[in-house]
Amino acid sequence: MNYTLDFTALLGNGYPSLVWGGLITTLQMTLLAWLLAFALGSLLAVLRMLNIRLLNYAIATYVAFHRNVPMLVHILLWYFGVASLFPYEFNDHMNMIGGGEFVYSVIAIGLVTSAYVGEDLRSAIRAIPPGQVEAARSLGLSYLQAMRKVVLPQAFTIAIPTLTNQTLLLFKNTSLAMAIGLIELTGAGRAIESATFRTFEIYLVVTALYLGVSLLLMFLGAYLSKRSSAAMAR
């Protein structure tokens, strides 16, 4: 074996702050994309419940488009394609706030994940027996109140494992933004690798950071699942 691990090469030249900056960018992307995905996904699931034919077709088309095209293609489509449709002044504004790389990749990842989240919530809502809604209505609650107070809380409890899954996937998918030049964690690793050639060391560090955050997300999901199912059991 002619490779000796040398971590000290990673300590100089501003590399630690590059990795830290990349981690912060990744976490920011994850948070914003998750909020977008969750908000949009819940909206889609609830709209599906209204059972309007045309709306169902529209939502099904949206979900099919976002699930059947690879996420990297979505990112490239937004960054190079949609961005060029906007007037040039808009692009100048984008450059002022740090560049379109962050915004467009967050939008692309958020929209694709919202399609999956919408489907997950829809199946969770369908898992609630219709007797619950009937019972709630017969007790005098309106349809909206029945949804809000009876069905949706139970649906979210059922959906927490799959939502944890989607969150983990979202967190990892942020690494695709490296393709459009965003320096998030993987991009920082790549940049340091081409500057120092310490391939194994830098990717070990990046892997450890991804694993660390992923495990935190997993434990958070497990904790929420336990708490809400305990609350439901009462």
Give CA–CA dist 17/23, Å, rounded. Answer: 10
Q: Which is nearer to other proteins, 155 or 182 (CB)?
A: 182
Compute how many other C-beta atoms are within 10 angstroms of the C-beta atom of residue 233: 7
Judged by CB under 8 A, the stretch of 43-51, 83-91, 110-118, 150-158 that binds other proteins is 83-91
Amino acid letter, residue 136: A
Question: Of 103, 58, 96, 66, whose CA–CA distance to 82 is shortest?
Answer: 103
- Residue 190 binds other proteins (CB under 8 A): yes
Cβ contact 112:41 at 8 Å: no
- Residue 125 binds other proteins (CB under 8 A): no
Q: Which is nearer to other proteins, 179 or 224 (CB)?
A: 179
CA 190 to chain centre: 22
Angle between helices 100-126 and 15-49 (to 10 degrees): 40
- Residue 199 binds other proteins (CB under 8 A): yes
- Residue 91 binds other proteins (CB under 8 A): yes
Cβ contact 36:74 at 8 Å: no
- Residue 179 binds other proteins (CB under 8 A): yes
Give CA–CA dist 32/26, Å, rounded. Answer: 10
Q: Which of 162, 196, 214, 228 binds other proteins (CB under 8 A)?
A: 196
Give CA–CA dist 52/38, Å, rounded. Answer: 22
Q: Which is nearer to other proteins, 76 or 218 (CB)?
A: 76
Least Å distance, CB 84 to other proteins, is 5
Q: Which is nearer to other proteins, 15 or 116 (CB)?
A: 15
Q: Which of 53, 84, 144, 233 binds other proteins (CB under 8 A)?
A: 84
Residues contacting residue 156 through CB under 8 Å, at least 6 positions apart: 121, 124, 163, 228
Binding mask 98-117 for other proteins (x = CB under 8 A): -xxx----------------
Size of the site for other proteins (CB under 8 A): 22
Cβ contact 58:92 at 8 Å: no
Q: Which of 8, 51, 68, 88 binds other proteins (CB under 8 A)?
A: 88
Residues that bind other proteins (CB under 8 A): 1, 80, 83-84, 88, 91-92, 94-95, 99-101, 179-181, 190-191, 194-197, 199
